[in-house]
Chain A
Amino acid sequence: MKLKNEKKKDALCTLIAIAVMLVVLIVMELTMKSTSILFTVLKKGMIYALVAVSMNLLNGFTGLFSLGQAGFMLIGAYTYAIFSMPTAVKLGDTVYKYYDCAISLELGIFPALLLAGLFAAVFAALIGLPVLRLKSDYLAIATLGFAEIFRAFFQWDAMGPVTNGANVLRQYKDLTKVKIPFTNIPFPPTLFCFLVAGICIAIIVLLINSSYGRAFKAIRDDEIAAEAMGINLFKHKEMSFVISSFFAGISGALLAMFQYTVQAAQFKTAMTYEILLIVVIGGIGSVTGSCIASFLFIACNEWWLRFLDESSNNILGLNILRSGFRKVVFSIIIMIIVLFFSKGIMGEREFSWARARAFFRDPFGLVSRRKKPAVSEEVSGDA
């Protein structure tokens, strides 16, 4: 009984927290300048959080070490850009300068987002057939290879009528084109990112906690035992791979909306490594860890460490601060994190209200630490 009450209380706390967060976001968007760096960090952080969680579903919960995330984001971003671009733009020569666009279909924002996920999922299902028979490092290399193949394929000249070759895609429906339904008032863009990515992450969390999620974790822990329990290994691996890629595709589409232009050259292996870094720093097998790490990563990369790149900040005439120095400091921070939090910020744990309450009652064990000597003093005094 007590456990059930506790659960209800926690669920209520979560709902209130989410509601408060959304209200704060709305107020911020209404009052602050929309060009503020804070919004950039929040938007990009949420998009990266989604792709990091989708990668965690694969690497942390199913035990499949895959490095194809950027490839699936690429597919999502291109699918979204191509299908949401107004037909008039496609027929004109502002975007498709050297090719005649072969796809005249124009979709709304939500159908295009969904299609972006579905396309990524279909590609994942196809390459999953051969690739998922491999294990550990071999799987990583194969997925990495496929991601590179996607990039080359999308830049290929013969694909020009569809993908515009190696040229930039733009003038599709970006974040500023999102309207509040049935009106012409623009939808707050940060709120939009949070809602879409938040719903996707919630779906992944529900999946992880379902019986399928348990089967994924069983496969991660021990493949042979999982198979002996009647879990069809290939079917479940393929399922995890396809679902993960679906959400990577959606986050790619959100990224395309966020940055107004899309070019295949951006989705390099380095991007997968950034996501992998977020997953590792957050904790492999922790959804909350991935989310926290993603915001920290983006904030450091885009905001907090920017001052290190400006040579005008140099003191004493030393020429230490210059463009690129940020990356040096960033690498050192990452090394420190890896040394002191070898399992990432959250390890394998998730955020829980019980632990949060315990933390506020006694942050870092300060209270209990202070109490102990007092007790021993009393004892010695008695003696």
Chain B
Amino acid sequence: MSETILSIKDLKVNYGGIEAVKGISFDVEEGSIVTLIGANGAGKSSTLRTIAGLVKPASGKIIFRGDDITNCDTNVIVRKGITLVPEGRRIFPDLTVQENLRVGAYLRNDDIFADFQWVYDLFPRLKERTWQPGGTLSGGEQQMLAVARALMSRPKLIMMDEPSLGLAPLVVRGIFDIIREINAQGVTVLLIEQNANMALKVADYAYVLETGRIGLSGTGKELLTNDDVRKAYLGS
């Protein structure tokens, strides 16, 4: 249970001459929910995009289940079992819900029928809308579709970039319930959030990013009661 699935070692990422991530290290335990919280521009998204292979790091190491995946291409990384749910949902608006899910399973050659059942059980709302173009879904449904699409690749680690962005509080609660549910079914979750309150409540372990460096870390509960975190992110 407590094996390290992903470990980041002294990762540095540059974005057009600006050092977005200035050497961070952290570990993700298998089967846990880990969250990175932090203000805008703290380097959260850059970290995820680098792990997914969309951005190449300046230096540092990314090790996933014992393999060094630091400079691998995204398709290799997805095949190894890491999938990113990108920020702002980014579903394919002109493809139907089902086609969106099929693209999620693009790299797989085995039977995906059981996984259709699996994600439709997780998101019954999507099952009602199988033949609807993705662009006609509501914001919350699009977020569900984005998560479902990522799950179709059968990831061992799913990374979510601000899944609560622009959603109503009730919908956000639904999304976090789903995150717990996915995690209970054995998928490790790496989550980044601005909604620190919700994120810390579901997280087993959390790191606070401050302008490209890790400030604090601890279990979700510890950080929820930490005075500095409360002042900076929870507004009390």
Contact = CB atoms under 8 A, between A and B. Distances in A.
B156 to A, nearest CB: 14
A246 B92 CA distance: 28
B159 to A, nearest CB: 10
B102 A214 contact: yes
Instruction: Give 4 nearest A-B pairs by CB, closest first.
Output: A230-B78, A221-B92, A225-B90, A230-B75
Nearest to B84: A228
Given A215-B103, A217-B99, A232-B75, 7 more contacts: A218-B106, A224-B86, A225-B92, A228-B74, A228-B83, A229-B78, A230-B79
B66 to A, nearest CB: 21
B94 A220 contact: yes
A230 B107 contact: yes
B228 interface: no
A217 B73 CA distance: 21
Nearest to A218: B103
A226 to B, nearest CB: 7
Interface residue range, chain A: 10 to 19
B153 interface: yes
Task: Provide the main secondary structure of the chain A interface.
Answer: helix
A212 to B, nearest CB: 9
Interface string B72-98: 011101110001101000111111000
Interface string A190-227: 00000000000000000000010011011011101111
B43 interface: no
A340 B83 CA distance: 44
B90 to A, nearest CB: 4
B12 interface: no
Contacts of B54: 224, 227-228
A229 B153 contact: yes
Contacts of B84: 228
26 contacts: A214-B95, A214-B99, A214-B103, A215-B106, A217-B92, A217-B95, A222-B90, A222-B91, A222-B92, A224-B54, A225-B86, A225-B90, A225-B91, A227-B74, A228-B54, A228-B83, A228-B84, A229-B83, A229-B103, A229-B106, A229-B149, A229-B150, A230-B74, A230-B78, A232-B74, A232-B75
Contacts of B74: 227-228, 230, 232
B122 to A, nearest CB: 18
B52 interface: yes
A211 to B, nearest CB: 7
B140 interface: no
B150 to A, nearest CB: 8
Interface string A224-264: 11111111100000000000000000000000000000000
A207 to B, nearest CB: 15
A266 to B, nearest CB: 36
B32 to A, nearest CB: 22
Given A217-B92, A217-B94, A229-B149, A211 B102 contact: yes
B86 A221 contact: no
A348 B135 CA distance: 14
Interface of A: 211, 214-215, 217-218, 220-222, 224-232, 285, 348
Contacts of A211: 102, 106
A232 B79 CA distance: 12
Contacts of B93: 221-222
Nearest to B85: A228
Contacts of A229: 78, 83, 103-104, 106-107, 149-150, 153
A218 B99 CA distance: 9
B127 to A, nearest CB: 15
A324 B94 CA distance: 41
Nearest to A285: B94
A218 B78 contact: no
A167 to B, nearest CB: 47
A217 B54 CA distance: 20
A224 to B, nearest CB: 6
Contacts of B73: 232
Contact of B90 (A214, A217, A224, A348): A224
A21 B52 CA distance: 52
Nearest to B108: A230
A224 B87 CA distance: 10
Contact of B94 (A226, A227, A230, A348): A348
B75 A231 contact: yes
A228 B95 contact: no
A218 B75 contact: no
A348 B84 CA distance: 30
B209 to A, nearest CB: 21
A355 to B, nearest CB: 15
Contact of A230 (B86, B92, B95, B106): B106
Nearest to B102: A214
Contact of A231 (B77, B90, B103, B150): B103
A12 B104 CA distance: 32
Nearest to B93: A221
A230 B105 CA distance: 9
Contact of A228 (B79, B86, B94, B99): B86
Nearest to B77: A230
Scoring A215, A222, A348 by chain B CB atoms within 10 A of each residue's CB, the highest score goes to: A222
